[in-house]
Chains A and B, each alone.
Chain A
Amino acid sequence: MNEQAIRKTGEHDEIALLLPWYANHSLPDDERQRVERHLTSCLICHHELKSIEQLKMSFDEGDSPNTVAHVSFRNLQKKLGAKPSPTASRHTNPTEAGTNRRHRLFRREAFGWAMAAGVLLTIGPSLLKQAESWFPNQYATLSSASPSVSAQMEVVFSPEVMAKHRDELIESVGGELVGNPNSLGAYRIRLRSPSSKIDPATAAAMLRRQPGVLLAEPLVASKAGQTP
């Protein structure tokens, strides 16, 4: 192989490694032009680029599950509440040992909560069973009516949804707000006329289809804690 051929192979290998970033349009002008020059004469790279573009499209198609960002932030805020703000730390000029102690305390507290949650998850089902025996009147037979669904729903809106748009969405299913959102940012919505054409399950399904709605679930009467 002569020197020119070796140089060409080297150039090809270098360009081949750059193709993914040519495909994502992040290359600066000089690199982009270099790739484009090479692509005009290299069928292998041309073919590779097509395959990379397909891969890029596959990546964009798949969406991750969308947990609620602002609910997640509220949870973090609780943790932050247990800690001093960075400004406070600077102003009080804590010693290293003091900072570490607070971290340890915070971790211990977090560990305690995690343990409590674990215990609750473990014994939760048996507690529920026990609760059934504590309230013997609340049982169902074959002739019982199915668990009643209250005319209420819990709905979580995307943080981008403005108050006016939120009210319009609620109005579109004939509902009205009941109080303020809970600590997780979920609104309770009551249907004004439960016997009308829209039942809570349908209303919740309608709301779920709206882009600004992250979660909408009808509440069963016992969960709603009150009659509609």
Chain B
Amino acid sequence: MPRIASIKKPMSKPPTEAPDENELLRRVVKGDTAAFERLYLIYHSKLQRFILRMTNRVDGVDELIQDTMMVVWEKAENFDYTCKPSTWIFGIAYRKALKSLAKNGRYDFMEDTDEMSEILADTRPTQAMELELVDWLGSALTLLSPDQRAVLELTFHHGLHYKEIADILDCPENTVKTRMFHARKKLQHLAAELKKG
């Protein structure tokens, strides 16, 4: 097996590595299963992480990915190419995840407008103390709303602009910004408590 260190030339990307997702979707409309498989493999890990962050549950993630991609397969002809395929696909996943949370009675977070007072009046030091320092973020995220987690994930992991996130979440751009603001303040607040504890 060749050692990586012995390879002098930078590896050139094969042309198949970054397929045109718009083109894949056009082929999906024609019922091309190979194109659909390609799209599925591209999005599986992205959706897995996004849904996991939103729902905070490992079980059921794959089912939600499949539900999302099933919609892509069935409704590809409805995609109007005015946004990126990723915006459309993440939007479907977002709604599927919200639906799943609502079905399981786990979407009971208060609205953004109330959240600043919630942060200031948060009297849950014991809960914060229990958070493990090693995975403080993972634990702290459970205290945010699914919408806030979605904004954080799409911004910091997927590197999306707030306008794209607003399209995915189907909300005004300012809502995305304020969700991010409140989420960050909440995380800062929890991190400070952990330091104290």
Contacts and interface: CB of A to CB of B under 8 A. Distances in A.
Contacts of A24: 155-156, 159-160
A104 interface: no
B73 interface: yes
A60 interface: yes
B119 interface: no
Interface in A78-135: 79-80, 83, 85-88, 90
Given A26-B161, A73-B40, A86-B76, A17 B180 contact: yes
Interface string A25-60: 111100000000000000000000001100110111
Contacts of B65: 72
Given A69-B44, A72-B44, A56 B70 contact: no
B1 A168 contact: yes
B170 interface: no
A20 interface: yes
B52 interface: yes
Interface in B123-159: 135, 137-138, 152-153, 155-157, 159
B44 A17 contact: no
Given A59-B157, A72-B62, A86-B31, A64 B52 contact: yes
Contact of A55 (B61, B156, B161, B162): B156
A38 B30 CA distance: 50
B161 A69 contact: no
A87 B31 contact: yes
Interface residues of B, number: 46
B57 to A, nearest CB: 11
Contacts of B187: 55
B58 A65 contact: yes
A52 B70 CA distance: 36
Residue among B29, B44, B48 with most chain A CB within 10 A: B44
Contacts of B77: 86, 90
A188 B166 CA distance: 47
B62 A67 contact: yes
Contacts of A26: 155, 159-162, 164
Contact of B161 (A27, A63, A66, A88): A27
Contacts of A21: 155, 161-162
A228 interface: no
A58 B1 contact: no
B177 interface: yes
A203 B153 CA distance: 37
Interface string A158-185: 0100000100100010000000000000
17 contacts: A23-B156, A26-B155, A26-B159, A26-B162, A28-B161, A51-B184, A56-B156, A59-B153, A60-B157, A65-B52, A65-B58, A69-B44, A70-B41, A75-B62, A76-B66, A86-B29, A86-B76
Given A20-B156, A21-B155, A67-B61, 5 more contacts: A18-B177, A24-B155, A27-B161, A59-B157, A75-B62
Interface of B: 1, 28-31, 33, 37, 40-41, 44-45, 48-49, 52-53, 58, 61-62, 65-66, 69-70, 73-74, 76-77, 135, 137-138, 152-153, 155-157, 159-162, 164, 177-178, 180-181, 184, 187-188
